[in-house]
């Protein structure tokens, strides 16, 4: 019998998590790992504070402004040779897409129902405007991922640090 899906945060291994909120990743970039998807985005300072204050997706208009501000930070980090900052900005763009998509798919952005043993909520009950916000973030995220300078820096970083 297949195992039913459940939120990954239920079995979160905090001790094994590669990203720490007690490290200044600008002073110690060697401690940063690229990871999968959005990992570390809510832990890595000072980037969390620099980028997070612009991260909004309530409406398409707000998402447009937010994604532009974050993409500007992304380009500035690249220009400064700061791969960690660029990667964090890219992660915020990706997270804008995934979170807005979750709110588009599920009422209140809740994929799982805690009261019912974390069973999946019904899909298609969310806010249609969030789909437009998700598309805006997705396009910026893909633009960041395709940037040749970012791609070179990422490959070099992964080779050197993992």
Q: What are the pLDDT digits (tens) for 62-119?
A: 999 999 999 999 999 999 999 999 999 999 999 999 999 988 888 777 777 777 777 7
- Given this model, what pLDDT does residue 3 score? 58
Domain of 146 in residue numbering reads as 40-161
- CA dist 155 and 88 (Å) reads 15
Residue 122 located in a structural domain? yes
Number of domains present in the structure of the chain: 1
Residue 10 located in a structural domain? no
Can you read off the two tokens belonging to residue 78? Answer: 């690249």
- CA dist 136 and 119 (Å) reads 30
pTM for this predicted structure: 0.85
Residue 14 located in a structural domain? no
């Amino acid at each position: 019998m297949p195992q039913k899906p459940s939120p990954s945060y239920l079995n979160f291994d905090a001790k094994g998590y590669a990203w720490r909120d007690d490290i200044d990743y600008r002073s110690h970039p060697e401690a940063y790992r690229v990871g999968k998807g959005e990992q570390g985005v809510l832990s890595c300072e000072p980037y969390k504070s620099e980028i997070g204050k612009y991260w909004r997706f309530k409406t398409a208009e707000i998402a447009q402004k937010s994604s532009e501000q974050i993409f500007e930070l992304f380009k500035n980090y690249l220009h400064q040779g700061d791969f960690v900052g660029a990667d964090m900005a890219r992660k915020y763009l990706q997270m804008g897409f995934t979170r807005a998509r979750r709110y588009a798919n599920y009422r209140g952005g809740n994929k799982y129902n805690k009261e019912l043993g974390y069973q999946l909520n019904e899909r298609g009950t969310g806010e249609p405007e969030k789909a437009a916000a998700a598309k805006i973030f997705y396009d910026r995220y893909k633009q960041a991922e395709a940037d040749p300078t970012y791609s070179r820096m990422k490959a070099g970083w992964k080779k050197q640090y993992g």
